[in-house]
């Protein structure tokens, strides 16, 4: 085969390959900001177990701006100080109402996992859930394209909803029989 023809074919293949890569380059060049909050109702303990997962650098930036001090959530010199900052931050930006009543959660602690942190929260002494109204504004004041996902599990039935800045409110409905088995959960608002 003629060397000129072979080079021409290689250039065309390389150009096609580059055009296939262009969309992926833009995806990876543009940051994606997301948090995931999961709530699970524990019938035996009459409690709601909550986890909040956020990228470490995003929450560090937010805490630094609020507290005007450097914060390292992955390797803190004093974990208790960081836990107090996280607790206060989340309590002001994650509002949970169940069956029309505002609920207050206890901050249990947090763990690091690769590039993100998982905060553990709990609400105790709660009645059987029928509705949840959740307002989630985590990281909104600093990240204009922030999305927050909320997962809810009651009696093994799972529901999810997502809001993107500036939206903050989600609504979940759960039907429960007398044995505590959820019936036909409704979706998001």
Mean pLDDT by 10 residues, the chain (189 residues): 51 44 43 92 95 94 90 92 96 96 96 92 95 97 94 94 96 73 43
- Residue 98: per-residue pLDDT: 96
Residue 69: predicted pLDDT: 86
Q: In this structure, what token pair is assigned to residue 41?
A: 């109702």
CB 111 within 8 A of CB 30: no
**pLDDT for the residue 135:** 98
Contact assessment for residue 99 and residue 46, using Cβ atoms and an 8 Å cutoff? no
Structure confidence at residue 178 (pLDDT): 52
CA 117, distance to chain mean position in Å, is 10
C-alpha angle 114-115-119 in degrees, rounded to nearest 5: 85
Instruction: State residue 188's pLDDT score.
Output: 40
């Amino acid at each position: 085969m003629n060397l000129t023809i072979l080079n021409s074919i290689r250039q065309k293949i390389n150009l096609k390959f580059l055009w296939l890569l262009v969309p992926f380059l833009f995806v990876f060049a543009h940051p994606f900001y997301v948090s995931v909050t999961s709530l699970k109702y524990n019938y035996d303990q009459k409690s709601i177990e909550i986890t909040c997962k956020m990228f470490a650098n995003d929450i560090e930036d937010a805490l630094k701006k609020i507290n005007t001090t450097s914060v390292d959530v992955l390797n803190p010199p004093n974990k208790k100080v960081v836990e107090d900052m996280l607790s206060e931050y989340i309590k002001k930006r994650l509002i949970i109402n169940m069956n029309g009543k505002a609920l207050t959660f206890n901050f249990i602690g947090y763990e690091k996992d690769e590039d993100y942190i998982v905060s553990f929260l709990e609400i105790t002494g709660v009645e059987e859930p029928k509705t949840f109204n959740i307002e989630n504004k985590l990281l909104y004041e600093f990240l204009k394209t922030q999305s927050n996902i909320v997962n809810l599990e009651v009696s093994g039935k799972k529901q999810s909803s997502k809001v993107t800045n500036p939206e903050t409110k989600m609504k979940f409905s759960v039907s429960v029989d007398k044995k505590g088995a959820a019936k036909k959960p409704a979706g998001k608002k």
